[in-house]
Chains A and B, each alone.
Chain A
Amino acid sequence: MKTNVGIIDYEMGNLLSLSRAFIHLNANPIIIKTPEEIKEIDILVLPGVGAFPDGMNMINSKFFPSAISEYVKSGKNFMGICLGMQMLLSKGFEHRETDGLNIIQGDVIPLPTDSEFKVPNINWHEIMKPNEHQWNHTILQNTKELTNFYFVHSFYANPSNKADVLAETNFGNLRFASAIKKDNVFGTQFHPEKSGAQGLKILETLLKL
């Protein structure tokens, strides 16, 4: 039996690349257009490229938030990617203050523009373990520290509880959360579906968790 991976379609993401990555990994991606369709799913993924308020607006207008929190409570694995990860937090500050899904406490704030690094941050960056954080039993359990992944963003997640930070990345003087985790909920700021073999390895790990 192939794993049914639900990919939430709220009209703001490159669903195609993600679906093709899961097909490549021999899973069965299912594009989810309504909350009712979430029930049949083994793993749920929230992708997304774009601005935080637009993303939340689309998710709210399609009545996804309560279905997502219900799914998360069921204990099945959930993963947010890029904007899909950012929206897991309590509040976003892109353009204006906007409520997020509040599954992981914290804010989504702008990258500093005064560093030598360019914003939007469109580049490959290394990820690191925050302090003694272990990657066992997470989407990063098969990933080596300092592996490079592909990022495209101008804002970053800043979880209130540092225990929710799964991986960190340096950006000038800033060290930001490039992956987050809380129980069965995972998120990556970078795009595993665009990060070559190492990115696919993370999605493959998610399928087997």
Chain B
Amino acid sequence: MKRVIARLDIKGNRLIKGIHLEGWRFLNGDPNDYCKKYYFDGADEILYVDAVASLYNRDSLKDIIRKTTENVFVPLTVGGGIRTIEDVTEILRSGADKVAICTQAVKTPELISKVADKFGAQCMVVSIQAKKTQNGNYKVWYDVAREKTEIDVVEFAKKVEELGAGEILLTSIDQEGTGKGMDETLIKIVTDATRIPVIACGGFMKPEDFKLAVDSGADAVAIAKALHYNHTNIFDIKSFAASNGINVRKNED
């Protein structure tokens, strides 16, 4: 089964969207209303990313999680600013099923093992922000694509799998927010090198992009802009996928 995941980037209590993980703009309306729509359209999961990720506005993120889980009954992943086991405990207690960890997975990779040991690999999603170099390799970036490293994305993906990550959220910084299609090469090299599910993210615009990502090896696709701005919707993506022989959860489910 290939999954369609609705991604919502959050700042305070608002939904935001950027390009290349910067230049954030606010979208009108309550994030929970977007979330409910995606749930009714057939989203298999919801992903919230707290883009500001500072500790002082945690209460509004928890408030969003709480409101969401009152009406939305599919798995919920929450990421952004998670630094410690205590942060993970707090997010899971608010109603999330999984946490996505990016910056601390780079800085203190042993946190991945600690979370997997305590809560199970199934709730430990490592978020990898990847950017292509001039010679065609991919390097790991972190802190919402503000900090670069010399770590190779494929090597890092293998490492986080070994440390106990249950899933990888793979975001192409180059494609993110552009709507210019997903980076199939990036998806392919990471899924070829790992056994855990990979959620591809960045650049999704039209239902055909789902097929391209899945054909490249993605287990799931996370979509933000194309949904928020109604360029497409989950119903159409799944109909397209099903008619192209991809196993997706049926819309009437």
Contact = CB atoms under 8 A, between A and B. Distances in A.
Interface stretch (B12-20, B28-36, B66-74): B66-74
A198 B185 CA distance: 36
Given A14-B97, A20-B69, A148-B249, A50 B195 contact: no
A194 B73 contact: yes
Contacts of A193: 73
Contacts, number: 70
Contacts of B196: 118
Contact of A124 (B44, B69, B92, B120): B44
| Interface size band for A | 20 to 34
Interface string B184-198: 000000000001110
Interface in B67-96: 69-71, 73-75, 92-95
B246 to A, nearest CB: 13
B147 interface: no
Contacts of B39: 196
B28 to A, nearest CB: 27
Interface of A: 14, 16-17, 20-21, 23-24, 49-51, 118, 120, 122-125, 147-148, 150, 152, 193-200
Interface of B: 1, 3, 39, 42, 44, 69-71, 73-75, 92-95, 97, 119-122, 166-167, 195-197, 219, 249-250, 253
5 contacts: A14-B95, A51-B120, A118-B219, A124-B1, A196-B73
Given A17-B69, A49-B120, A51-B120, 4 more contacts: A120-B120, A123-B1, A193-B73, A198-B253
